[in-house]
Amino acid sequence: MFYQHTPSSRFLLGTAGYPSPAILQQAIETSGTEIITVSLRREGSAGGAFRELLQQLNTRILPNTAGCHTVKEAVTTARMARELFGTSWIKLEVIGHADTLQPDPFALVEAARILCAEGFQVFPYTTEDLIVGEKLLEAGCEILMPWGAPIGSGQGLRNIEGLKTMRAWFKDVPLIIDAGIGAPSQAAQAMEMGFDGVLLNTAVAKARDPVRMAAAFSAAIAAGHQAYQAGLMEQRDMAAASTPIFGLAQFS
């Protein structure tokens, strides 16, 4: 559940970088996603046509503060997004490192505290750091969005153990993997670890066939979640025969 909203799909999809508005629309519809992220800067540059497209889609908009590097920028952008899109949801990004696009944890927590106090329902883009996670929850966030890898890198889950620890530590907090996912298998892996959703953009938008890739990610995310719910077998150091010995014919 994401702030009292329980979507049927655990796939959150970004809307930037698609070859055309028509392909974007087809990808969203094929993905089955109920939540799409929209940058205020993207909406502003595209104008009314993009806004009309968003209104046609049966999805919930999660505006984001992409491109913001300071608390002031992020808070101002969030306030503008609330006015434009009519939602208190905000994906909070405060970038601290130009090359990796890693979030600035100090500015992120400060911005989250301000926005939560103003009634925003904040989806913070963060790292797998447990202390930062605790501070974000203390600030009023009810969900955490740790990165898998740097934005747009397609490297998948670079810190498996760290993410597993985060999942175990925040066992009652919705966790969504955000950024770095490049293949459906990586998304399935995140869901098999018990994460509550996956948010991605580039892996679909820049695929040779974005619509087909959206379908692939949708299936992988659903399969990964189903596998987690079913209970994955534990890994063993040695082989273990799946066929029982009892009842086999004896030859001498």
Per residue in 12-48, pLDDT (tens digit) is 999 999 999 999 999 999 999 999 999 886 555 455 6
Which pLDDT belongs to residue 235? 83
Distance CA 4, CA 139 (A): 18
What's the predicted TM-score (pTM) here? 0.89
Instruction: Return all residues near 65 (Cβ < 8 A) that are at least 6 apart.
Output: 40, 73, 74, 77, 78, 81, 90, 91, 92, 93, 94
Cβ contact 241:247 at 8 Å:
no
Q: What's the longest Cα–Cα distance across the chain?
A: 83
> What average pLDDT does the segment 56-81 reach?
93
Thinking of the domain 18-29+39-183, which architecture would CATH place it in? Alpha-Beta Barrel (3.20)
Integer CA distances (angstroms), 182 to 40, 86, 116, 216, in order = 24, 31, 31, 12
247 is in an annotated binding site: no
> Which stretch, 97-106, 133-142, 242-251, has highest mean pLDDT?
133-142
For residue 141, is pLDDT > 60? Answer: yes
Q: Please identify every residue annotated as catalytic.
A: 91
Residue type, 93: E
pLDDT band with cut points at 50, 70 and 90 for residue 153 = very high
152 is in an annotated binding site: yes
Query: What are 185-227's pLDDT values in tens digits?
Result: 999 999 999 999 999 999 999 999 999 999 999 999 999 999 9
Which pLDDT belongs to residue 71? 97
Instruction: Tell me the domain boundaries of the chain.
Output: 18-29+39-183
Which has the closest alpha carbon to 93: 9, 201, 213?
A: 201
179 is in an annotated binding site: yes
